[in-house]
Amino acid sequence: MKRLLKGGRVVDPAGGIDGVRDVLVEDDRIAAVGRDLPVAGARVVEIPAGLVVCPGFIDMHVHLREPGQEHKETVATGTAAAVAGGFTAVACMPNTSPVNDNANVTAYILSRAAEASLARVYPIGAVSRGSKGELLADIAELRQAGCVAITDDGRPVATALLLRRALEYAGMFGIPVIDHCEDPSLEGDAVAHEGYQAAALGLRGMPGAGEALGVERGILLSELTGSDFHVAHMSARASLRSVRRGKEAGVHVTCEVAPHHFTLTDEALASPVPYDTNTKMNPPLREAADRDAMLSGIADGSIDAIATDHAPHHYDEKNVEFDRAPFGIVGLETAVPLSLDRLVHAGLIGLPRLVELLSVNPARILRVPGGTLAPGAPADITILAPDRTVRIEAAALRSRSKNTPFDGWELRGGVAATIVGGRILYVNAAVEALKDMR
């Protein structure tokens, strides 16, 4: 079956394309991108001016919670949230119950993903058995079962020695080690960024230096081993400084930043709702200088990817005292509007750079298909409506959990449609021109 996406601005940095083009999809692959492609034999979808056709977005940091925490999220609900948020693929973290530290769990996640048949799911395996930080997980087996990276996310890789071994071992398979960078000995049982807000609210604070220590450790060990090291959810300006220096020195280090870290600061802990547990995440919302550093890293290219750290938690789990609430917020359905509004419309970056951050670079770092509209590539396509006003409504999220600090926010820019392997899996009902697309 052939489908022709006719007109619309195509932004495909990998192919050096930014302009009005047609995209021809044949079955599950991209067949051609060009001007005035022949219509014959294809079902034509007219893409109205103002919409933007991009290679599918890939969220490289998502907690799908299955197996074991299905009250928070499942592979099915998480991937439904993904396609509604414009993501054609997600990489899911191994801190499930049981931990994804063996091929059985990986296979289970992939079978659930196949049943759901929505966004593509790339499991990430554990560095250590049970993510306990002692013995290495069966990394070869995880790789063979389909894991695209390893991490003990939720916590840092326990010791420098274990991280070194993981980098050496993962290097054999050409997969990156992703670390939740933090020095736990410095952070203790902290629940917020160390600064004025934590001091005023009486919350135990973790300084940016704790994250930067973890980043620096990973960079030094990546240099030592020659393996790929990826910094998860970077939030501190000192971490960015380390990453920049590491890249200048030629170390194989990459990093991601989450939308909440380039939009919010720790002031959100105090207002509008004091002690809102939907402002509690790890790493924490930091001060304005850190938020601004993340914006500058996005603008100047030192940050490689935007990843949501989508961390669903049940309402009951969040409806507790601030220091008892679990860390994390959902992000799959808010990332694109936040990025368009705060990065593109704010004039910080153009759409091609946004597509690099959300598609090209995640595909490159994880070495997964996608990130391009080149002929032969999978027909994973995200269509944006950059000028549409979007109102975030927590209750309307497809994710099983609604823990977002962005409830009620009005943002400029949204997702018009999401196509995975040539199948149109999401069409925004509000985008009139596409309503007959499916």
Which residues contact other proteins (rule: CB under 8 A)? 194-196, 198-205, 207, 273-275, 316, 319-324
CA distance 105 to 203: 37
Q: Which does 153 bind (CB under 5 to 8 A by kind): other proteins, Zn ion, none?
A: Zn ion
CA distance 325 to 321: 6
Compute the residue count for the chain.
Answer: 438
Q: Residues 236, 242, 244, 247: is their CA dihedral positive or negative? A: negative
- Considering only CA atoms, which of 182, 159, 171 is closest in space to residue 233? 182
309 is catalytic: yes
Q: Which does 12 bind (CB under 5 to 8 A by kind): other proteins, Zn ion, none?
A: none
Q: What backbone phi and psi angles, to 5 degrees, belong to 412?
A: -100, 115
Q: Which does 180 bind (CB under 5 to 8 A by kind): other proteins, Zn ion, none?
A: Zn ion
Residue 182 CB, shortest distance to other proteins, in Å, is 18
Residue 63 CB, shortest distance to other proteins, in Å, is 23
C-beta of 144 vs 319, nearer to other proteins: 319
Binds Zn ion (CB under 5 A): choice among 12, 73, 101, 153: 153
Q: Which of 153, 290, 304, 309 is catalytic?
A: 309
Q: Which does 202 bind (CB under 5 to 8 A by kind): other proteins, Zn ion, none?
A: other proteins
- Considering only CA atoms, which of 279, 331, 339 is closest in space to residue 308? 331
Q: Which does 125 bind (CB under 5 to 8 A by kind): Zn ion, other proteins, none?
A: none
Contact letters (x/-) for Zn ion, 235-274, by CB under 5 A? ----------------------------------------
Q: Which long-range contacts (CB under 8 A, 24 or more apart) does 109-114 make?
A: 109/64, 109/66, 109/67, 109/75, 110/145, 110/146, 112/66, 112/74, 112/75, 112/76, 113/75, 113/79
Phi/psi class of residue 247: alpha, beta or left (left: φ > 0; alpha: ψ in -120 to 50)? alpha
C-beta of 119 vs 232, nearer to Zn ion: 232
CA distance 112 to 366: 21
Asked if 313 and 401 touch (Cβ cutoff 8 Å), the reply is yes
C-beta of 238 vs 377, nearer to Zn ion: 238
Residue 128 CB, shortest distance to other proteins, in Å, is 28
Asked if 240 and 291 touch (Cβ cutoff 8 Å), the reply is no
Q: Which of residues 166-185 bind Zn ion (CB under 5 A)?
A: 180
C-beta of 87 vs 322, nearer to other proteins: 322
Asked if 317 and 326 touch (Cβ cutoff 8 Å), the reply is yes
Cα–Cα distances in angstroms (integers) from residue 201 to residues 9, 75, 206, 266, 267, in the given order: 47, 37, 14, 11, 10
- Hey, what are 394's tokens? 């927590």
Residue 71 CB, shortest distance to other proteins, in Å, is 16
Asked if 124 and 93 touch (Cβ cutoff 8 Å), the reply is yes
C-beta of 311 vs 434, nearer to Zn ion: 311
Residue 95 CB, shortest distance to other proteins, in Å, is 24
Asked if 437 and 45 touch (Cβ cutoff 8 Å), the reply is yes
Q: Which residue is nearest to Zn ion (CB)?
A: 180
Q: Which does 322 bind (CB under 5 to 8 A by kind): other proteins, Zn ion, none?
A: other proteins
The 10 Å CB-count burial string (b at 16+, else e) for 266-296 is bebbbeeeebbbbbbbbbbbbbeebbebbbe
Residue 195 CB, shortest distance to other proteins, in Å, is 5
Does residue 280 belong to the site contacting Zn ion (CB under 5 A)?
no
Residue 402 CB, shortest distance to other proteins, in Å, is 16
C-beta of 177 vs 203, nearer to other proteins: 203
Q: Which does 198 bind (CB under 5 to 8 A by kind): Zn ion, other proteins, none?
A: other proteins
Task: Identify any residues that bridge with 53 across adjacent strands, giving them in sequence order.
Answer: 10, 383
Single-letter amino acid, residue 199: A
Helix (H) or strand (E) holding 381: strand 381-391
Residue 208 CB, shortest distance to other proteins, in Å, is 11
**How many beta carbons lie within 10 A of that of residue 202, not counting itself?**
10
Q: Which does 434 bind (CB under 5 to 8 A by kind): other proteins, Zn ion, none?
A: none
Q: Which parts of this chain interact with Zn ion (CB under 5 A)?
A: 153, 180
* Residues annotated catalytic, as ranges: 309
